[in-house]
Amino acid sequence: MARNSSVLSETKCLICGHDNEPDMLLCASCYAPMSIVQDARAQEREPKIVSVIGESNVGKTVYLGFLLDMLAHRAGAFEAIPKGAYSVDLQQNVIGHLARRSFPPKTPMEANQWYWAYYQVRREEADAPWVDLVMPDMAGESLAAEVSTPKTFRVIHSLLNKSKGLLLLVDAAAAANGSNQPDFFAMKMLSYVDSMFGGKHEEKIETPVSIVLCKADYCPECFDDPRSFVKANLNRVWNLCESRFANVEFFAASVVGSLGYATSLEDDTVAPVPLHTALRGVLEPFEWIIDQL
Amino acid sequence: MALQLFSKKPVEPKVRPRPRPRLAEPDAFIPADRIELQADPLHQAMQLERYAYLIINRSEFKEHPDVDKLCLQACERIDDSFALVPEGFATIPRTLHDSPGAEEDTFETTPFLLGKHCVTNAQYQKFVEAGGYEQLELWPKELWPHLIDFKDLTECPGPRYWRHGRPSKKLMDHPVVGVCQFEAAAYARWAGFRLPTEAEWQMAATWRIRSVANTMRRYPWGDALDINRCNIWATGQGRTVPVDEYQPGAAPNGVLQLIGNVWEWTASDFEVTDHTGGPVVGDMHMATIRGGAYDTYFQMQATSVFRTGLVSLARAHNVGFRLAWNLRGN
């Protein structure tokens, strides 16, 4: 980890490296908040990026929001400190919506409207080192667009290129229902990462990847044995991981305890309603990633 | 120099051994001992804790020399393990968001007996070993095709998280979970009891008795949340606890753990609308569950009045049930 403040230029974006004007709030190139740079400068070290990725509607925002909120509650083996008020916005948005039994709105495709979280995290042990983490809430559509046409979204390309760990969220409920879509999307995502990090194919990629089976309350067998579930229901991903990734682990997670559907009498739309929350498996994939860093 | 293209050793991939995840090892599953059922039907009913069944069907055993003694014992056991819920009221909102002025229904509840504890794994094991899953008269006819799905992790009839038809020996006094509403109702029917209705459950938790004061409690112990009185996410247990823990969280009549530990199935359908009056439905039929569980994150979702639903065929890790009985028998 760089400890020299000179490497952290006042205007150089930490994500894409673009040299910005001093008064910019967002990077002119990738729209990452420049406050991350200022906070990193104050720490005199460059933060590590952990990316939560997955297709649209898989639950990245909800997962990340609850993860940050649980860290703020010191729920697991870690303590966490948000750097800057902007880091709290995501969890506040998610918690506010779920407490009112609604889902947060979809993350916009435009990077300048994303939530970014910058946290300092460490194990609650004496002398445990602090790890500075930047975790953006990326839009699933933007990820899909970048994966199919690399460098369309420069910020995503830069983020994933700099990521020290990846949490790949997969819709386990859809996979259990026989849909191939989660398998294909996850495969595309890993293939993209492979092409980005992978040089010679003799070497596997060392970047730790947590594959998180989301919405696992719909298929409790995910919790019994996530590995077997992936092998059986997401076999393409399983094989790709076996071939190309040296450091992969599989997890199951769920946030919503029960889902209802509200049919509005005003406009005839049907909206999913999270009737209550029941958190399972949210912290474990994150803790595993941090231990690998 | 000879061409050595094909004499080269194959390239060995440089693969580091995969680091093992640092995950907590799951508790080793030690199955509970099998139950040796007594041959005599009357004594077997006592052994299986079918107290209400025994009292209701007393006439079937009238020739038995021990019938009076055992019926008296059954009454004493019910006295010990059930508490009287006096007559009262339950006001249940019709809409999802119980905002002031929202439509609601008020139900009057008559006095009834409510189990002080949720049904435990030990109690439910008696039902399983006595062949409860094979007694079709305990199950609604329309459910018979689903009975084959009510299997444990080893494909034996029983709750979702058991193995070989038996619970973990360590969890005998924990509430049984992994049972759907129909399994809960079948157990209750087999034992001679029933599930409480949603209104009865709420009455027991809010203690809104018929009185001049007309008060209702947000929690069985009072109006303020106290995480030392219940097992919810904020308590930090992260798992179920034995049904007799959290004594300070008891309702005035001694009923324990109405809040937290596990959600509780009720006999009532979950019917609710959104703010436009449109119905909120599930993928399948939903029943009402109440009380919150050990993994309930939002404290406002673990109160005496918060209502939610779950697909009645769901066999969730955090939903159990308790029994009810009419004062004059069911």
- Cross-chain Cβ contact B282/A258 below 8 Å: yes
* pLDDT at B20 > cutoff 50: no
Q: What percent of chain B has pLDDT over 70?
A: 90
Q: How far apart are CA B186 and CA B138, in angstroms?
A: 5
Per-residue pLDDT at A199: 62
Interval A50-71 mean pLDDT: 91
Q: Which pLDDT band, with edges at 50, 70 and 90, does B26 fall under?
A: low
N-term to C-term CA, chain B: 98
Bigger pLDDT: B124 or A177? B124
- The partner residue sitting opposite B293, judged by closest CB among A204, A278, A288, is A278
Is residue B159 very low, low, confident or very high in pLDDT (cuts 50, 70, 90)? Answer: very high
B185-206, pLDDT tens digit by residue? 999 999 999 999 999 999 999 9
The whole-angstrom distance between B260's CA and the closest CA on chain A is 12
Give the gap in angstroms from C-alpha B151 to the nearest C-alpha of chain A. 13
Interface mutation vs chain B, best among A258, A266, A291, most B CBs within 10 Å: A258
Q: What is the pTM of this model?
A: 0.88
Is residue B41's pLDDT more than 70?
yes
With a cut of 80, say whether residue B158 has pLDDT above it: yes
Task: Read off the pLDDT band of A290 (50, 70, 90).
Answer: confident
Q: Which segment of A28-42, A135-149, A221-235, B156-170 scores lowest on mean pLDDT?
A: A28-42
What pLDDT score was predicted for residue B28? Answer: 81
**Residue B104 pLDDT grade (very low, low, confident, very high; cuts 50, 70, 90):** confident
Interface test with B, best of A230, A276, A284 (most B CBs within 10 A): A276
- Percentage of chain A modeled with pLDDT above 70: 95
Find, in chain B, the residue whose alpha carbon is nearest to that of A284.
Answer: B23
Rounded Cα distance, B318 and A220, in Å: 12
Residues A279, B297: C-beta atoms closer than 8 Å: yes
Q: Which residues contact B155 (CB under 8 A, 6 or more apart)?
A: none
How, if at all, do strands A48-54 and A163-171 pair? parallel
Give me chain B's average pLDDT, please.
89
CA distance B27 to chain A (A): 13
Residue B330 has pLDDT above 60, yes or no: no
Q: Is the pLDDT of residue B112 over 90?
A: yes
ipTM of the complex: 0.85
The model's confidence at residue A234, banded by pLDDT at 50, 70 and 90, is very high
Is B124's pLDDT higher than 60?
yes
Chain A residues interacting with chain B (CB cutoff of 8 angstroms): 66, 73, 75, 98-101, 202-204, 206, 217, 220, 223-224, 246-249, 257-266, 273, 275-280, 284, 287-288, 291-292
Contact B97 A100 (CB under 8 A): yes
Cβ contact, residue pair B13, A203, below 8 Å? yes
pLDDT band at B2 (very low <50, low <70, confident <90, very high): very low
- Distances in Å between the alpha carbon of A22 and those of A11, A28, A112, A113, A287? 6, 11, 18, 21, 36
Q: If you average pLDDT over residues A136-154, what whole number do you get?
A: 87
B317 with A98: Cβ contact below 8 A: no
